[in-house]
Amino acid sequence: MSTVLITGGTGKFGSVLVDYFCQKGMQVVFTSTSAEKIAKVVGADSINNRLIIGIQADFSIENSVPCVMQQLAEKNISVDFLVNNARSLASLAIEPDGSVSRTNFLAEYLLDVVVPYELTMALAKLNGDSLKSVVNIGSQYGMVAANPSLYTDHARQSPIHYGVAKAALVHLTKELAVRLAEQKIRVNCVAYGGVEGRVDEAFKARYATLVPNQRMLCEEEIPGPIEFLLSDASSAMTGQVICADGGWTIW
């Protein structure tokens, strides 16, 4: 049985991915900052309970990655696939004048770039014989700048440091793909477009006019690109970015 480690497993994307890969018969290990949320996910399905393992981890804290690695070792878990998905909405806060504080800028960069680097390298070192594929969760805003027409308050509703960190994640993907190629570990990225669920109808209508598909993504469209990049079907791909954005970045 293959094992996938999904960071941020109780967030918007993470919860979808945990459920999806569990249903696919994989052993799913996920991280979350909340012990309460972990217990809820693990205990939600008694049939699949044996396939789901939650690890409490706050990646904003130093030495969090070694702690995760220690727990994996104690549980004798060998990771085949890694999905770097953890993030914190708290770091997207904007100052009253519309600027971004140094604290929040660095916090966003830490979770989007530094932690994926640390965790990927730690797994490659410990599980080099088993780790096969890594997928980083990116964004269309790591490929292009945000379109001001989408927002009623561009500076506050589209934090600049989010896109900057996601752009850095794209380059991290390429660097890791090169550096881990000798170990036959592939590293790719999925740059997602906006997903329904946190916006009102007016926002969705504006979004529809700016994207070829004329709509936001739905949650059911999240797992597909990741499943492809984790599978042997994408064996020729490493260091690449799949833009699952409804065409946002093509015009």
Reported as a single tens digit per residue, the pLDDT across 158-172 is 999 999 999 999 999
Please, where are the H alpha helices in 50-159?
64-74, 102-109, 115-126, 154-157
What is the reported pLDDT for 45?
56
What is the reported pLDDT for 129?
78
Query: How many whole angstroms separate alpha carbon 10 and alpha carbon 33?
Result: 9
Q: Are 59 and 110 in contact (CB under 8 A)?
A: yes
Bridging pattern class, strands 27-32 and 241-244: unpaired
Query: How many whole angstroms separate alpha carbon 14 and alpha carbon 84?
Result: 10
Amino acid at 171: H
Locate 99 and state its tokens: 């600027």
Q: What H or E segment, with its residue span, contains residue 112?
A: none
What is the reported pLDDT for 128?
63
Locate 58 and state its tokens: 């706050």
Q: Are 5 and 82 in contact (CB under 8 A)?
A: yes
Q: Which residue has the tokens 């380059």?
A: 171
Residues of the chain with pLDDT under 70: 44-50, 127-128
What is the reported pLDDT for 204?
96
Which residues of the chain form beta strands (DSSP E)? Answer: 3-6, 27-32, 52-56, 81-84, 133-139, 186-192, 241-244
Report the candidate in 101, 126, 89, 132 with the shortest Cα–Cα distance to residue 232: 132
Is residue 207 classed exposed, middle or buried when 0-12, 13-18 and 19+ CB atoms within 10 A define those classes? buried
What is the reported pLDDT for 198?
83
Q: Which CATH architecture has domain 3-250?
A: 3-Layer(aba) Sandwich (3.40)
Query: How many whole angstroms separate alpha carbon 130 and alpha carbon 124?
Result: 9
Confidence (pTM): 0.95
